[in-house]
Structures are given as structure tokens and as C-alpha cells.
């Protein structure tokens, strides 16, 4: 999973606005601001999930949490 996990997180971070508009099913004009809240551990580029605070044009604020898993697991689903 590390082979695809880090590149995917970097892709989501680089195109946060695109992912936010897609996941929230809104137009780009409806998103005022996307702020990454992801945590990067001091040891390097290891990131824990991907979290963004999205402020919509009408003032509403929402959090987007992106989690990837290569294996299907009931335990992962139950934690979400």
C-alpha cells in the first residue's frame, strides 16, 4: 500500500479544490476556501489520511476526510 498511498495523498493535496467540488457535488464557484488539515509526522513524508476544511461560498464549513485501504476490511468500514 505505501507505493500508492503517498502518491495518492499528494495528488489529493495538490488538487484539493477539484476533489472538494467533486465530493461535495458543487461548482468551483461555490467553494470559497479549501484548507488542508493533514498531519505530517516529523520523520518525513508519512502522512496520516488526508483532511481538508472546506468553506463554501455561502459560509458553510465542512470537513472532508480521505482514507484509502487496499484491503476490504469490516473493521475499517466500522471505524468510518
pTM, two decimals, is 0.59
SS3 55: strand
Q: How far is the C-alpha of 40 from the C-alpha of 5, rounded, in Å?
A: 14
Domain residue spans of the chain: 2-79
Asked if residue 58 has pLDDT above 80, the reply is yes
pLDDT digits (tens, 9 = 90+) for 9-49: 788 888 989 989 998 999 999 999 998 876 555 555 555 67
Q: How far is the C-alpha of 63 from the C-alpha of 18, rounded, in Å?
A: 15
pLDDT at 4: 60
Better pLDDT: 72 or 9 = 9
- Cα angle 27-8-59, degrees, rounded to a multiple of 5: 30
Better pLDDT: 60 or 38 = 60
Amino acid at each position: 500500500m505505501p507505493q500508492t498511498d503517498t502518491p495518492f495523498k499528494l495528488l489529493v493535496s495538490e488538487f484539493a479544490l477539484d476533489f472538494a467540488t467533486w465530493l461535495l457535488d458543487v461548482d468551483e464557484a461555490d467553494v470559497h476556501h479549501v484548507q488542508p488539515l493533514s498531519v505530517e509526522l516529523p520523520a518525513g513524508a508519512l502522512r496520516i489520511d488526508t483532511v481538508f476544511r472546506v468553506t463554501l461560498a455561502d459560509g458553510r464549513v465542512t470537513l472532508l476526510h480521505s482514507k484509502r485501504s487496499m484491503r476490504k476490511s469490516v473493521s475499517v468500514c466500522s471505524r468510518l
